[in-house]
């Protein structure tokens, strides 16, 4: 029983880039043609594909639709939607701006670009009365952008947080599961294709920071760019910490957190210890999960595969469908920043901390260290002291404390001759409800 509305018109699309995601988009549009036609009343055709070298033989698509000249797509009046999957700042920025200027709608998965020049693009799309959509830029197939934009209008959101980088979650999951050291877990992730040969963007937290900038902007209707997001990566997470954490019934995750403090916003990325029975603790491997917390919704979680060619392609096709069913952008399209907000200083944030220190194994060391914390109003919740050969090891968990006070105490601690290791504290998050 086919609907009478299906396939009444044809939408032509220009695709920029034909890597894993690009070829998956191409195939998905072919394979899911009936579903797409039922959902949109249109048939979709990828008319041209921009690649660097058209001489490379490609199996999925006929050779005549490939081009190495962007103008072939830009100047084709049939092409009403451009899908940008080449990544990076340039020439992607140039291609997207000229597409929007020509009135074409744009779908992109480019988180780097959006987190740095998104507002320019949103503004341009608005001026040109067209649309830019970017579901695939954050959390793969998980429809968090659509949910934030369209289902959370009355949610009165207060925070958005979660695991938004699959590579680091895979590495931390492996370290937790097998007891592996960071270097070995990273090498393993590279071998299995979960980490790039240059994993810097992921392990430093920059990739997560870009995604959090996008999520925070959409959730709180204000301009948050990559530079506004302080981030700590996972390079200093040690297998020793993970093993101590396990004994405390905690597990480690790289979290992105965007949170309102009154009418100010704070967005950060950092490794955190969370309770084993928190829903985030069950998000393992390369999966992502995003929590939306708001006064009218309590707390909603969306989780799923954070990346992957077919999953990201599925998000791109969803955007395509959304654009086609609403050719005229509604008032809410591209209005990503109608509110100006100040940033809440990192120093003022209240957190619990975990800290492991190698110290000289001699009387009075704990008293000395405890005094420094006490002098800074940092209150110790629990201490474990353990011999580890030449030194002793102190594992301390602190009550919630103003970040600036904790950092000041740490500076003093690092200067003590009794302390033998660089202190790398890790935040401890409560359960979902304590996350404010």
Which residues sit at the interface with a copy of itself, rule CB under 8 A? 1-3, 5-6, 28-29, 31-32, 35-36, 38-42, 135, 141-143, 146-147, 150-156, 221, 277-279, 281-283, 294-305, 308, 310-311, 313-315, 317-318, 321-322, 325-326, 330-332, 335, 337-340
Nearer to a copy of itself, 152 or 164 (CB): 152
Q: What is the DSSP string of 117-176?
A: HHHHHHHHHHHTT--EE-GGGSSTT--HHHIIIII-TTS-EEEEEEE--HHHHHHHHHHH
Least distance in Å: CB of 228 to a copy of itself? Answer: 17
Nearer to a copy of itself, 70 or 287 (CB): 287
Residue 232 near residue 204, CB atoms below 8 Å:
no
Nearer to a copy of itself, 128 or 376 (CB): 128
Least distance in Å: CB of 341 to a copy of itself? Answer: 11
Nearer to a copy of itself, 142 or 195 (CB): 142
Distance CA 297, CA 319 (A): 25
Distance CA 199, CA 170 (A): 13
Least distance in Å: CB of 55 to a copy of itself? Answer: 30
Respond yes or no: is residue 211 known to be catalytic: yes
Q: Which two tokens stand for residue 235?
A: 């390079």
Distance CA 288, CA 301 (A): 10
DSSP tally for the chain: helices H, then strands E? 14, 17
Q: Which two tokens stand for residue 315?
A: 């998000």
Distance CA 129, CA 118 (A): 16
Kindly name the residue from 48, 211, 253, 293 that is annotated as catalytic: 211
Least distance in Å: CB of 210 to a copy of itself? Answer: 22
Nearer to a copy of itself, 29 or 369 (CB): 29
Least distance in Å: CB of 294 to a copy of itself? Answer: 8
Length of the chain counted residue by residue? 436
Distance CA 183, CA 376 (A): 35
Active site residues: 211
């Amino acid at each position: 029983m086919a609907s009478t509305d299906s396939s009444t018109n044809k939408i032509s699309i220009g695709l920029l880039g034909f890597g894993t995601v690009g070829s998956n988009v191409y195939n998905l549009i072919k394979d899911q043609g009936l579903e797409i036609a039922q959902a949109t009343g249109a048939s979709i055709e990828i008319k041209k594909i921009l690649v660097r070298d058209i001489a490379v033989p490609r199996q999925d698509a006929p050779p005549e639709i490939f081009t190495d000249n962007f103008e072939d797509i830009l100047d084709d009046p049939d092409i009403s939607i451009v899908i940008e999957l080449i990544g990076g700042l340039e020439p992607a920025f140039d291609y997207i701006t000229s597409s929007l200027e020509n009135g074409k709608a744009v779908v992109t998965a480019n988180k780097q670009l959006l987190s740095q020049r998104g507002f320019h693009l949103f503004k341009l799309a608005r001026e040109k009365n067209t649309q830019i959509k970017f579901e695939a830029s954050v959390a793969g197939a998980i429809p968090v952008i659509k949910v934030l934009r369209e289902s959370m209008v009355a949610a009165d959101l207060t925070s958005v947080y979660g695991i938004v980088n699959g590579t680091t979650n895979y590495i931390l999951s492996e370290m937790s599961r097998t007891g592996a050291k960071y270097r070995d877990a990273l090498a393993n992730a590279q071998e299995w294709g979960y980490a790039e040969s240059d994993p810097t963007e992921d392990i430093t937290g920059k990739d997560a920071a870009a995604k959090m900038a996008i999520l925070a902007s959409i959730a709180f209707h204000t301009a948050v760019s990559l530079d506004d997001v302080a981030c700590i990566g996972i390079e200093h997470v040690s297998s020793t910490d993970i093993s101590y954490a396990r004994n405390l019934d905690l597990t480690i995750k790289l979290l992105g957190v965007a949170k309102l403090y009154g009418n100010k916003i704070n967005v950060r990325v950092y490794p955190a210890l969370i309770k084993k029975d928190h829903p985030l603790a069950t998000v393992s491997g390369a999966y992502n999960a995003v929590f939306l917390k708001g006064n009218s919704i309590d707390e909603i979680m969306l989780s799923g595969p954070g990346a992957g060619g077919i999953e990201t392609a599925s998000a791109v096709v969803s955007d395509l469908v959304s654009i086609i069913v609403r050719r005229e952008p509604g008032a809410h399209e591209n209005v990503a920043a109608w509110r100006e907000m100040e940033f809440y200083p990192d120093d003022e944030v209240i957190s619990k901390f975990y800290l492991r220190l190698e110290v000289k194994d001699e009387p009075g060391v704990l008293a000395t260290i405890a005094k420094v914390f006490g002098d800074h109003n940092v209150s110790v919740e629990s201490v474990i002291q353990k011999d580890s050969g030449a030194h002793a090891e102190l594992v301390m968990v602190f009550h919630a404390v103003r970040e600036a006070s904790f950092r000041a105490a740490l500076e003093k601690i690092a200067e003590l001759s009794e302390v033998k290791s660089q202190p790398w504290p890790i935040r401890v998050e409560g359960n979902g409800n304590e996350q404010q």
